[in-house]
């Protein structure tokens, strides 16, 4: 097992060294990414802060790293996808947990008992066997029956990263081709930093079923794709709808919301899963501080997050939350 670990670790170590050399002139890249993400969320938080302008481009590509185990009756895929910078930071732990220490029992089932318990996350997708969060990097475990076409899967992952079919990839077959190590990276040197996403019109990606308690608001400012107002028992509540690329770690986005509400960064936010009438698997987050609260619904698609955010004056009433949940349950995201 250690022999295959050495090969993959050597590749990762080389990649990290190159990445550090490339970004040596951009030591403030992390802060720039945070500034630009704040810009994308400013409308949703109704903030008046202005991010730093005219910043030079930075290396902010996205990567996929995977380990494929081909067993007699099934093929196991352990896959991580995220920003290249975060992938480099978590690569050693990814290898340690899922390559160096991972074992299979007599029934060819992987044993994840060595993975820290607080890394485990609920799996909302039907084909997933397990999901882990390596400090912001999501790792999915999927099992498919029989022998799978490895090259076809790599080609599909390239399409997910919008890479051409002939793009270079690190692919290493080990253990009589029963273990396959894969690393795919988007080009980064000429790629811009994590700029705010292209604004989408609400009607282009979601269909809403609104009753007489809801009203669409017209706003051309900021990055919100749409704004709604809920009128309930003499009170008004606002819903902002925002789309963000999934290569921005969810932990980072939630961290900004927590910061705005002055919620301690170390406080964990445990989502409540909710299935919609259209088969979407939403995650609900309830953020509460002494001054205000936010009720957040998140749907993760192939390339984008869809966020619905409910706010009001002070704390949110339970009736307002129920109306919000009904809105989400009946919303149909046509371009997840």
Give the 3-state secondary structure of residue 4. helix
What per-residue confidence (pLDDT) applies to 218? 76
Can you say whether the dihedral through the CA atoms of 157, 161, 164, 170 is positive or negative? negative
- Could you list the pLDDT tens digit for every one of the 336 residues in the chain? 444 444 444 434 333 333 332 233 323 334 455 555 555 454 333 322 233 333 333 446 889 999 999 999 899 999 999 888 888 888 889 999 999 899 999 999 999 999 999 999 887 666 788 999 998 889 999 988 888 888 999 999 999 898 998 888 889 888 888 999 999 998 865 444 444 456 788 898 999 999 999 999 876 556 788 899 999 988 999 999 998 888 778 888 888 888 778 888 778 889 999 999 999 999 999 999 887 899 999 999 988 899 999 998 888 999 999 999 999 999 999 988
Contact 172, 181 (CB under 8 A): yes
Please tell me the predicted confidence (pLDDT) of residue 252.
80
Q: CA–CA separation, 68 vs 321, rounded Å?
A: 42
Assigned CATH for 202-333: 3.40.1000.10
**Angstrom distance (rounded) from CA 294 to CA 21:** 41
User: Got the DSSP string for 49-111?
Assistant: --PPPSPPP----EEEEEEEEE-SSEEEEEEEEEEHHHHHHHHHHHHIIIIIS-EE-TTS-EE
**How far is residue 75's CA from residue 94's CA, in Å, rounded to a whole number?**
19
Rounded to an integer, what distance in angstroms lies between the CA atom of residue 145 and that of residue 148? Answer: 8
pLDDT at 236: 92
**Interatomic CA distance for residues 192 and 12, integer angstroms:** 23
Adjacent-strand bridge partners of 104: 110
| Residue 298 · residue 250 · CB < 8 Å | yes
Per-domain boundaries in the chain: 2-27+58-185, 202-333
What pLDDT was estimated at residue 24? Answer: 33
Pairing of strands 120-121, 293-300: unpaired
Q: What is the pLDDT of residue 68?
A: 94
How far CA 310 is from CA of 102, 305, 307, in Å, comes to: 42, 16, 10
Q: In the prediction, which pLDDT does 268 show?
A: 84
Q: What is the DSSP string of 213-261?
A: TEEEE---SSS-SEEEEEEETTEEEEEEEEEEETTS-HHHHHHHHHHHT
**Tokens coding 90:** 């978590």
């Amino acid at each position: 097992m250690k022999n295959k670990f050495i090969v993959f670790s050597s590749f990762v170590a080389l990649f990290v060294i190159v990445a550090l050399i490339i970004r040596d002139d951009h030591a403030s890249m992390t802060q720039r990414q945070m500034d630009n993400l704040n810009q994308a969320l400013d409308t949703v938080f109704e903030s008046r802060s202005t991010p730093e302008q005219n910043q030079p481009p930075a290396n902010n590509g996205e990567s996929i790293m995977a380990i494929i185990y081909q067993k007699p009756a099934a093929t196991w895929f352990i896959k991580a996808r995220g920003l290249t910078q975060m992938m480099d930071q978590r690569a050693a732990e990814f290898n340690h947990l899922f390559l160096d220490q991972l074992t299979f029992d007599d029934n060819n089932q992987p044993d994840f008992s060595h993975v820290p318990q607080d890394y485990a996350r609920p799996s909302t997708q039907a084909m997933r066997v397990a999901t882990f969060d390596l400090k912001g990097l999501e790792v999915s475990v999927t099992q498919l029956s029989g022998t799978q076409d490895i090259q076809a899967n790599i080609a599909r992952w390239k399409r997910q990263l919008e890479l051409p079919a002939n793009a270079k990839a690190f692919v290493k077959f080990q253990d009589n081709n029963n273990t396959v190590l894969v690393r795919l990276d988007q080009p980064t040197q000429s790629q811009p930093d994590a700029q705010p996403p292209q604004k989408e019109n609400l009607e282009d990606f979601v269909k809403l079923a609104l009753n007489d308690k809801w009203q669409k608001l017209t706003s051309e400012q900021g990055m919100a794709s749409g704004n709604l107002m809920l009128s309930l028992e003499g009170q008004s509540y606002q819903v902002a709808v925002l789309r963000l690329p999934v290569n921005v770690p969810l932990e980072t986005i939630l961290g900004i919301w927590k910061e705005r509400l002055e919620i301690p960064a170390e406080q964990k936010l445990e989502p409540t899963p909710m299935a919609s009438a259209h088969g979407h698997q939403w995650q609900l987050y309830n953020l509460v501080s002494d001054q205000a609260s936010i009720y957040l619904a998140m749907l993760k698609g192939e390339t984008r997050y869809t966020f619905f955010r409910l706010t009001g004056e002070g704390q949110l009433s339970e009736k307002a939350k129920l109306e919000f949940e009904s809105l989400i349950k009946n919303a149909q995201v046509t371009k997840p």
